[in-house]
Every structure is written in structure tokens, then in C-alpha cells.
Amino acid sequence: MARKFPPEAYQLAETYQLGAPLKRRAGLGWIMLYSFPMIVFLLGAIGAAAAAFGSFASFGTNAMLPLVTSCTSLLCIAGIVIYLSLARNTWRHYAYECTNGFVEVNRKTREVRHVLHWDEVSSARVSGGGRSLPIYYVSDIHGKEFEVPYHAIWRRCKREARKRTAVESQKR
């Protein structure tokens, strides 16, 4: 069964000679999507712990309880707002992975940000990781490097770069 894409995908693939669209990719959104419940649970647990601590710390008097509860609520709300703003940044763009390359599009303006054919990939590298989200970079044969926030596309670029270096080393 053939996968259905919006007309935009076929038009972009034809315009930039990318072959047939294979998959639509969202930038690192899967990390944000899967971590969202965990972040909300963590912030809620911190809020509950702070409220419990506030009620026990004041012993018989509940003078501190309203202050601790309101501060904890503000902290949780601020954390969720910051998290959602980060999530919004990762969803600003999307890409269509095609048989011969990919095209990245700005979600709001529908402007094309990057077009790259698989045979134009020179190198792929990753930066960050550890405590921060990884940042994936790809360089084309013209020396232009840009960020590719799509792990699957970056992996494909890395594979294509390895093929390219293997072919070039065999020619020597």
C-alpha cells in the first residue's frame, strides 16, 4: 500500500529532483514527545514533596504552607512553560525524506530551508549529547555545513558520507 503525502511533498520532490517522498520527519520532536510525561511527573513530584515538606516543617502552624505551595506551583508552571517553549523550537521545521535526498521546510512560512541530495553529502557529525540534546550537522560537497535536527536523516547522511569516502579511497 502506497503512503499518501500532501501535494506539497510531491511538488517539492519533483522541483528539487529528489525522487519519491518516503517519510515526513519532525525535528527531535520524538525526544520532546516521549519526555513530556516524565517532565510533568517530575515537576509534579517536586511540587508535592515541597508541599509535604512545608506542611511538616511548620509543625502545628500552617503559616508557611500557602507560601511553599504557591512557590512550588509557580516553579512547576514555569518549568512546564520553559519545556513547551523548547518543544516549540524543535517543531519549527519538518523535512521530507525522499529516495534521492531530503528537503527541509519552515512549518510557518512554508519556505524551503535546505535541500540536499544523498550524493552531495560530504560528512556528518554530532555535537552535544550527555546532559543536553544532541545537535546533528551535515556538510555538503561545497563545504556548507548546516544543522539537521532529524536523527534518521542524519544517520542516512552519515551512511552516504561513509560510502562516498569508501568510493574515493578505492579510486586512489
> Domains of the chain: which residue ranges?
7-27+93-171, 32-89
CATH of span 7-27+93-171: 2.30.29
Nearest of 143, 137, 172 to residue 158 by alpha carbon: 137
User: pLDDT digit of tens for each residue in the chain (172 aa)?
Assistant: 456 889 999 999 999 999 999 999 886 555 555 666 677 777 777 766 766 666 565 555 556 666 666 777 777 777 777 777 766 666 778 899 999 999 999 888 999 999 999 999 999 998 876 666 677 899 999 999 988 888 888 899 999 989 888 888 887 7
Q: Are 94 and 104 in contact (CB under 8 A)?
A: yes
- Give, for 128, the enclosing helix (H) or strand (E): strand 121-128
pTM above 0.75, yes or no: no
